[in-house]
A and B are shown apart, each in its own frame.
Chain A
Amino acid sequence: MKQRPWLFLLPALLLVSISAFIPLMTVMNYSQLTLLPGTQPYFAGLENFVAILQDPAFQGALGRQFLFSFLVLITEIPLGLALALCMPKDGPGVGVSLVLLGIPLLIPWNVVGIIWRVFTRSDIGVLPEVFDWVGVTYNVSQFTGDAWWTVLAMDIWHWTPLVVLICYAGLQAIPEEFYMAAKIDRASPWKTFRYVTLPNLRGVLIIAVLLRLMDSFKIYAEPFVLTGGGPGSATTFLSTYTSRMAIGGFQMGRGAATSLIYFFIVILLSFVVYIIMLNLGQGAGNDS
């Protein structure tokens, strides 16, 4: 009987080992080798890691990545929560809203890029035209600022619906009695939000923040199609950098080392956020 849980976990463990564990071991192996076409691989130790970490292109991509993920979190989470609060609790509006919110999530990521590309291109897009009318110059392929906020707007457009859906599920699970009690206890709307809504949403907010953090760190296809990582390297993020290292191909060891560093950063970051958010709700016990 003691083995029963493991029996149930066996299929999942097998699948994960095929889809994650064995590949991960392969990267670890390669990351310490130097593979040049036509030569024997030799053991390079940490040489590849050091080379990557010192590469200014890597440092630039890493910095942009942190800034991007940070901006994504501070806009999408509050916006998603606010919109979830605006959702109807029942009635025909729920189904319509859910379907409309679900659509951006089910568009292939490169199609998202295409949609925004045709939306923002200076020759065929509507957005530059609108900016032109109000007298503002806007060109995604020329100006770093324009490219940046367009990629950000695209991500908000693409992923805020997911945050709305997650928060809405959490809100639906809060029993009506909590709000009744708050009314009777003379709580203001703000205090009701602070002491009823937020504490009861802690779990789903952790999920939303983690998902958005992980996924924004992995962003690849959308900016790749929209801007190709440019202008210059203005919208080159970690995935774009890593896939270039890997597809570039002649330096497999470098590519593998980049992958490992990348993976390590994501795990570390998610773990830190996870711990912080777990303690955030618990420690708030004694304040007023």
Chain B
Amino acid sequence: MKKQYYLILFLVLLMVPIYWMLNMSFKPNSEILQQLTFYPHEFTLKNYQEILSSEFWRSGYINSISMALMNVTFVTITALPAAYAFSRWNFRGDKHLFFWFLTNRMAPPAAFMVPFFILYSNFNLIDTYWAVALAHCLFNLPLAIWILEGFMSGIPKEIDEMAFLDGHSFPSFVWNIFLPLITPGIAVTAFFTFMFSWVELLLARTLTNEAAQPITVTLTRSLGAGGWDWGVLAAAGVLAMVPGAIIVYLVRDLLATGFSMGRV
């Protein structure tokens, strides 16, 4: 029982910086700059109003969510069959191919920003959702294949064989039997994919200008523009955390099942 206190201590430390930002987002700038207060003495929602009334910030959120969801879709649809192939069949070069896929997870976005920019410029994709959603596949697809392969290997091959003996066609087997079995695995995959796409800054900044600019970029740009409006910045930061917090809360049960199924 005692060891759980260490965990609680860690979780509290985890929340302290977040609390500090939350605290700041409800203060006017005068209070932020004048004295150190552990809770807002002059409570205000002005910072949030400023953000939510501005088209600039709102579109940033919509863009971010759209791009992350697009990326999750691309990645899940392509990773599922690939992971199935790796988990079910032996074929020439499968191990090498698997490692090659993984090496892409290691690719530093900083090293890829220029070639991406050139490539997508040629296809007129710059400043569209497509550019960022495709670029994020660079590190998300290998991760997704990796996680899903682990989950699928945990499901005995006999299940496939039984289903085919029972007269299921391949699509019917996948839809009625296989997908329900790996739902927790797909949830864990989608969670990590969404997470890495939602939080990435460098590629998102390089590949967008205004139309498709995600919230992460909006935040950085506002950092430099016209002095520091700390209250607004903190409120924007809080709002940028909200979708993530909602998602993790919604999928917590699936995550717990997914985690107890074994490999992440």
In the complex, are the beta carbons of A108 and B252 less than 8 A apart? no
Q: Which residues of B contact A14 (CB under 8 A)?
A: 78
Given contacts A106-B245, A207-B264, A218-B110, contact A86 B6 (CB under 8 A): yes
Q: With A26-B118, A83-B10, A259-B114 as given contacts, are A106 and B247 in contact (CB-CB < 8 Å)?
A: yes
A99 at the B interface (CB under 8 A): yes
Query: Known interface pairs A26-B115, A27-B114. Does A225 touch B223 (Cβ–Cβ under 8 Å)?
Result: yes
Is the CB–CB distance between B215 and A86 below 8 Å? no
Q: Judge whether A24 and B115 touch: CB under 8 Å.
A: yes
Query: In the complex, what distance in Å separates the CA atom of A101 from the CA atom of B220?
Result: 25
Return chain A residues, CB-CB under 8 Å to B165.
none
B87 to chain A, nearest CB (A): 10
The answer to whether A98 and B248 have CB atoms under 8 Å apart is yes
Judged by a CB distance under 8 angstroms, whether B181 is at the interface is no
Output the residue of B74, B103, B261, B264 with the most chain A CB within 10 A: B264
Q: How far is the CB of A110 from chain B (nearest CB, A)?
A: 5
Residue contact A95 to B244, C-beta cutoff 8 Å: no
Chain B contact surface mostly = helix
A83 vs B256: C-alpha distance in the bound complex, in angstroms? 16
On chain B, the residues within 8 Å of A266 by CB distance are 106-108
- 9 closest A-B pairs by beta carbon, nearest first, are A106-B244, A259-B111, A23-B115, A102-B248, A12-B82, A8-B85, A169-B259, A239-B110, A173-B262
Q: Please name 25 pairs of A and B residues whose Cβ atoms are closer than 8 Å in the assembled complex, sorted by A.
A: A9-B81, A9-B97, A12-B145, A18-B137, A19-B135, A19-B136, A20-B107, A26-B115, A93-B4, A98-B255, A99-B245, A99-B249, A102-B255, A103-B18, A104-B14, A106-B247, A106-B248, A109-B199, A111-B237, A170-B263, A207-B146, A242-B110, A255-B114, A262-B110, A266-B108
B residues adjacent to A (C-beta < 8 A)? 3-4, 6-7, 10-11, 13-18, 20-21, 24, 32-33, 36, 38, 74-75, 77-79, 81-82, 84-85, 89, 91, 94, 97, 101, 103-116, 118-119, 134-138, 141-142, 145-146, 191, 195, 198-202, 215-216, 219-220, 223, 230, 233-234, 237, 240-241, 243-245, 247-249, 252-253, 255-256, 258-264
